[in-house]
Amino acid sequence: MPKIESLLNPSAFNLFSSKSLFNPSISSSSIFSPAPRLRRISSPSSLSIRCSATHQMEAVVDSVSPEQFRVDVLSESLPFIQKFRGKTIVVKYGGAAMKSLSLQASVVNDLVLLSCVGLRPILVHGGGPEINNWLKRLNIEVVFRDGLRVTDAETMKIVSMVLVGDVNKNLVSLINKAGASAAGLCGVDGRLLTARPAPNAAQLGFVGEVARVDPTVLQALLDKGHIPVVSSVAADESGQMYNINADTVAGELAAALGAEKLILLTDVAGILEDRDDPKSLVKQIDIKGVKKMMEEGRIGGGMIPKVNCCVRSLAQGVRTASIIDGRLEHSLLLEIMTDNGAGTMIIG
């Protein structure tokens, strides 16, 4: 039987849903098909090998019953389930995966499946596009400086309303509908996060940083089998609310919880060896290597704060941090349940 990562394409993960896992009417050939975008093809010889593997895979699919094929694939998943069972995984959700309904459903289903097989996932989210939409509806100017939202008192009220009251509860509802039990909260709840003003607060307004994390409320939810959904809003000691970068919140929570893995969903393939070559994906790199790439200017733009977030979390005890392609359906399962992953994994 071929390895699971060589068989699965995004639609293949429907196999694991309660509606399809034991449904004889769904044929194995309709669930599994070659997935070229999950592998890099660098030469004609590799293309020949890939085609040969594809034909072999199709032959295997045709030679076994749908039921046996499903069992074989689930068996291939066992080592990954054993590796991560009982481990905490922090996922930062945003970008294309938040804008597309199909990708949103993919992320939700992945979280539910991971929870069902014994992982302890936490979802951290922002909601920039939704905030912009509401600000425009209310005729409030949207202003950014150095890539950060200028957040005055009026804008902060909208940020809290959208992230805590709208985006967060919608995600909780979707997870509950998919069969798990989610609990929505922001940094204020249970004193999960204490904020402080960002260094350039005079220019940015109520944009904050994480001053302190108390993960007690998260631990209680995880121990009861819930999936915490955290919005990136928190208050300082005086009760003033701040808008905090969701990547930063995810990294700090992962560190405070001693998470096995931090995963940042992005709109790119991951870290690229050559920023102008989308095929030059770096599959795995250590802290020393990624710092060298930044010094050489090969990592730039919006990738810099994401990499810094990963490096900081690794330095505080997180085992691995991954920057993955959220444009791929079921990118979370690809990252956790296969050897190939779905982006770049940074290790300590």
Q: Angle at the Cα of 179 (from 177 to 182), degrees rounded to 5?
A: 75
**306 is an active site residue:** yes
Q: Which of these is catalytic: 127, 251, 261, 306?
A: 306
Burial code (b: 16+ CB inside 10 Å, e: under 16) for 143-163 equals eeeeebbebeeebbebbbebb
**302 is an active site residue:** no
Q: Which of these is catalytic: 94, 95, 205, 341?
A: 95
> Is the Cβ–Cβ distance between 3 and 56 less than 8 Å?
no
**247 is an active site residue:** yes
Rounded CA gap, 215 and 124, in Å? 14
**147 is an active site residue:** no
Rounded CA gap, 127 and 231, in Å? 9
Q: Which of these is catalytic: 126, 127, 128, 184?
A: 128
Tell me the residue type at 161. Answer: M
**Other Cβ atoms within 10 Å of 339 Cβ, number:** 11
The single-letter DSSP state of residue 235 is E
- What is the spatial order of strands in the sheet that 227-231 belongs to? 182-186, 227-231, 120-125, 88-93, 261-266, 320-325, 343-347, 284-286
**291 is an active site residue:** no
Q: Which of these is catalytic: 126, 184, 247, 343?
A: 247
Active site residues: 92, 95, 128, 247, 306
